[in-house]
């Protein structure tokens, strides 16, 4: 009996040892499996490493193309606060598909008709890039019918006096009498003399002179739309900036801006180009004040947009000197009225 019990105990002990060994061998593998499943990584990177435009406020998105249509009054279109891209991605606005002409201020001038730009989106890792073609159509100005009645009165009076003048001098009898007698003499003299001399002179003179003049005048005519100088402002590409003290409540751009030859410029309060400032003077609030200058070339074919940042310093806090209040006593001092102690103010003996 004792041998049987001892054998059972040995069997149980061996089984416990085997179970313990099996559990120890299984724990690392399961741990590795869980670690692989919860490894931070690469899956999260691949999910967020995209280069896409998620939304474009005010624009119609169709695949890799964006489009919008604006009225004639809108001379500027801004992309700031309109474009939302993938998480971690960045985007830039360019004037060409290769991305060479980057628009730093993310606002562009508009010509009448179709205006094409490009938005290049780059993923967070920089490995992916997507180019979107943006077409902004600016409508043409409404036609004015005021020019139609000007053509009607010009045609009627031109035909009436022409018929009267040609019919009257033909029937004059004086011409018939003079034409019959000297027919042979004046015909030979007039025809032979003027035919040879004037034929050579006007043919050589006007041909050589006008051919050289238009060639020289057509060369030096630049058609640019640039700000050449801005007095009191710093120019960095298409961005202008200046700082003024707090007591400057307005800023005048008149007589400060110099643009290209034959070009003109306009000042706007907003990036949409809807609030024009005719007098070129703007009010300033404390902090940053943003305005926009649109330069148009002489032909009207070239446009340039500049963003202007005027920083007005905040008001300095007024520090008043701290004055200690004077120790005053309102009322009268207590008077001793006891005849045994005498009369007068009561005296206190402070400890």
**DSSP one-letter string for 100-143:** -SEETTSEEE--SEEEEEEEEEE-TTSS-EEEEEEEEEEPPPPP
Per-residue confidence in pLDDT tens, the chain, 351 aa: 667 777 777 887 777 777 777 766 655 444 444 444 445 444 444 456 899 999 999 999 999 999 999 999 888 998 988 999 999 999 999 988 888 888 888 899 999 999 999 999 999 999 999 999 999 999 998 875 554 545 454 455 555 544 444 445 544 544 444 444 445 454 544 444 545 555 555 555 555 555 555 555 545 577 899 999 999 999 999 999 999 999 999 999 999 999 999 999 999 998 878 889 999 999 999 999 999 999 999 988 889 999 999 999 999 887 777 777 666 656 565 655 666 655 556 555 555
pLDDT on residue 37: 46
d(Cα 335, Cα 346) in Å, to the nearest integer?
A: 6
Fold classification of 49-138 is: Immunoglobulin-like (2.60.40)
Query: Can you name the residues that pair with 68 across neighbouring β-strands?
Result: 136
In a 3-state reduction of DSSP, which class is residue 29? Answer: helix
pTM for the whole structure:
0.54
pLDDT on residue 336: 58
Report yes or no: 253 and 293 within 8 Å, Cβ to Cβ: yes
pLDDT on residue 277: 94
Tokens found for residue 122 = 């780059």
pLDDT on residue 208: 56
pLDDT on residue 254: 92
Report yes or no: 265 and 302 within 8 Å, Cβ to Cβ: no
Query: Can you give the residue ranges of every domain in the chain?
Result: 49-138, 227-312
Q: What class does CATH assign to 227-312?
A: mainly beta
DSSP H/E element including 149:
none
pLDDT on residue 166: 46
Judge if 49-138 and 227-312 fold alike in CATH terms. Answer: yes
């Amino acid at each position: 009996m004792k041998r049987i019990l001892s054998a059972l105990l040995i069997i149980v002990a061996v089984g416990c040892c085997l179970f313990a060994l099996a559990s120890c061998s299984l724990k690392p593998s399961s741990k590795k499996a869980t670690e692989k499943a919860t490894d931070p990584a690469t899956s999260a990177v691949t999910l967020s490493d995209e280069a896409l435009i998620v939304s474009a406020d005010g624009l119609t998105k169709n695949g890799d193309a964006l489009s919008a249509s604006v009225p004639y009054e809108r001379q500027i279109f801004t992309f700031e606060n309109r474009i939302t891209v993938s998480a971690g991605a960045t985007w830039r606005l360019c004037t060409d598909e290769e991305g060479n002409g980057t628009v730093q201020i993310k606002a562009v001038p508009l010509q009448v008709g179709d205006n094409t730009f490009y938005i290049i989106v780059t993923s967070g890792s920089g490995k992916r890039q997507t180019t979107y073609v943006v077409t902004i159509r600016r409508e043409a100005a409404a036609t004015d019918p005021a020019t139609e009645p000007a053509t009607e009165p010009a045609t009627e009076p031109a035909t009436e006096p022409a018929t009267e003048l040609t019919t009257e001098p033909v029937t004059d009898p004086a011409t018939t009498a003079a034409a019959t007698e000297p027919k042979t003499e004046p015909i030979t003299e007039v025809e032979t003399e003027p035919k040879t001399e004037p034929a050579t002179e006007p043919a050589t003179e006007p041909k050589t002179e006008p051919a050289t003049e238009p060639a020289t005048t057509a060369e030096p005519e630049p058609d640019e739309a640039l700000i050449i100088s801005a007095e009191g402002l710093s120019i960095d590409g298409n961005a202008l900036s200046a700082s003024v003290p707090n007591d400057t409540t307005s800023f005048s751009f008149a007589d400060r801006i110099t643009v290209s030859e034959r070009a003109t410029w306009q000042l706007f309060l907003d990036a949409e180009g809807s609030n024009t400032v005719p007098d070129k003077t703007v009010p300033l609030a404390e902090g940053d004040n943003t305005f926009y200058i649109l330069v148009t070339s002489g032909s009207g074919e070239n446009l340039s947009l500049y963003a202007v940042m005027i920083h007005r310093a905040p008001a300095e806090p007024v520090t008043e000197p701290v004055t200690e209040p004077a120790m005053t006593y309102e009322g009268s001092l207590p008077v001793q009225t006891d005849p045994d102690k005498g009369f007068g103010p009561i005296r206190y003996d402070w400890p």
